[in-house]
Amino acid sequence: MYFAEVKNIVKEHHLKPLKRKIVNDPVWGFIEWDSPLLLDLISHPYVQRLRRIKQLGLSSLVYPGANHTRFEHVIGAMHLVRSALDVLKTKGHEITEEETTGVLAAILLHDIGHGPFSHALEESMVKGISHEVISKLFMHQLNREFDGRLDLAIQIFAGEYHKKFLHQLVSSQLDMDRLDYLKRDSFYSGVSEGIVSSDRIIKMLNIRNDELVVESKGIYSIEKFLIARRLMYWQVYMHKTVLSAEHMMISVLKRAHELASDGDNVFAPPALGVFLRGDISRHEFESGDNETVKSALQLFAELDDTDILSSIKEWTRHSDVILSTLSRSIINRNLFKIKLSSHPVTEKKRAELRERVMKTFSVTSSEADYFVISGTATNNAYMPSVEQINILFKNGKIKDIKDASDINLSGLSTTVRKYFVCYPREIILK
């Protein structure tokens, strides 16, 4: 309907036809847009870089089809935001074309700050700074390049625009980001538990008191959405083998960083080498100086999955036994054995594992820590303490989904914590 209206306006006023982009997405079908700003943004190297960053990190080592990228995800999320805006407009809510473009640009750029392999290496490149913060820095840099045309998008992204519901479409307990990645990740992984009724949820969206609500007819779809999130976290995002692979890769980069910092000429593409040596840190990103931040962002933008994989392939031949052993294990998918428990790993258990690693690989006690990895995995399907998913009833009353549902959802709003320990399969335990 939107493009038909545009064609009529163009024809009536003898205007030059707008350039239109159409992509065929395997999850949502044909996606199309014609905003000059969005077309320019999508063509920008910062956004094109997302084609080289896997959406699910190392999950393809468990689910071979899970090779989709952040680029596909942001395009899909943008499509869902467009659909949601169309629904809200038909229900009488005023949303200007400027606001439409602003929120679409915000969702398009919301993941632009992800490093290689997405969440798997969240702090391996720059410690103490999240991808959300880097995304915002990228948006400000792009805004300077685009002469302020992203002012509104940045306000919406940061939750500073007076129409709060626009920010909620981008980032909330029920945003279009989550609706896309659940269905997309389910599609590519083959895990059907992630399939949710996205179309129905969007059709049931409304606005009350400047906040998104879901009309009561959509309550069962919201219940399934929350359950799907919980199941996908344990089956895909925090699958135990994925956890093992991701923490092995973190250990590999930690060892490479240690060697590079000590002057070892560790192989790495130029940009990765800068981060391994520690020449760029959190300070450069938070300096406040535009040129310093721009330089740091440019180096970060040169990083993608191929830099990490090509380096790890080369490191399989490195003289350092830790770096080469871990690298070969990842490349050949000889992943560490992992055990999950509801209780923390005891120091006695860690000491036993370190002792066996020392004997098996002829390494010191401190070096054995690279082979014995422990940590925690948490799952929060729903966090009403942060923000609620509100259900709108016909009588005008609004209730949190936890109170509106006729099934007990309290378990979904409880943080589930699991403890794990990873170690080489070569170790034989008594």
Distance from chain centroid for Cα 6? 34
C-alpha 428/C-alpha 213 separation (Å) is: 55
Residue from 228, 309, 232, 254 nearest 54 by CA? 309
Q: Using N-to-C axis directions, what is the helix angle for 290-301 and 270-277, rounded to 10°?
A: 120
C-alpha 266/C-alpha 256 separation (Å) is: 7
Quote the pLDDT of residue 408: 83
Residue 34's alpha-carbon distances to 3, 20, 21, 157, in angstroms, are 8, 4, 6, 21
Tell the residue number behind the tokens 């052993």, with chain if given: 325
Quote the pLDDT of residue 9: 47
10 Å CB burial of residue 22 (0-12, 13-18, 19+) is exposed
Contact yes or no for 3/20 (Cβ under 8 A) = yes
Q: Which two tokens stand for residue 113?
A: 């700050």
C-alpha 358/C-alpha 344 separation (Å) is: 23
pLDDT along the chain (430 residues), means of 10: 50 59 95 93 97 96 97 98 98 97 98 93 87 95 97 97 98 96 97 94 97 97 94 94 96 96 94 92 89 94 97 97 96 96 93 94 92 92 89 96 88 88 81
Quote the pLDDT of residue 411: 79
Q: For residue 76, what is the DSSP state?
A: H
Separation of first and last alpha carbons in the chain: 68
String of DSSP letters for 309-365: HHHHHHHTT-S-HHHHHHHHHHHTT-PPEEEEESSPPPHHHHHHHHHHHHHHHT--H
Question: What burial letters (b/e) apply to 369-396, b meaning 16+ CB within 10 Å?
Answer: bbbbbbeebebbbbebeeebbbbbeeee
Contacts of 111 (CB under 8 A, 6+ apart): 50, 70, 73, 74, 131, 135
Quote the pLDDT of residue 1: 46
Tell the residue number behind the tokens 């943080």, with chain if given: 415
CA angle centred on 139, ends 136 and 145, rounded to 5°: 150
C-alpha 189/C-alpha 195 separation (Å) is: 11
C-alpha 2/C-alpha 35 separation (Å) is: 12
Residue from 188, 187, 212 nearest 202 by CA? 212
Three-state secondary structure call for residue 81: helix
What number of other Cβ atoms are within 10 A of residue 208's Cβ?
Answer: 12
String of DSSP letters for 199-267: HHHHHTEEEETTEEEEEGGGHHHHHHHHHHHHHHIIIIIT-HHHHHHHHHHHHHHHHHHHHHHTT----
What is the Cα gyration radius of the chain? 24
C-alpha 361/C-alpha 356 separation (Å) is: 9
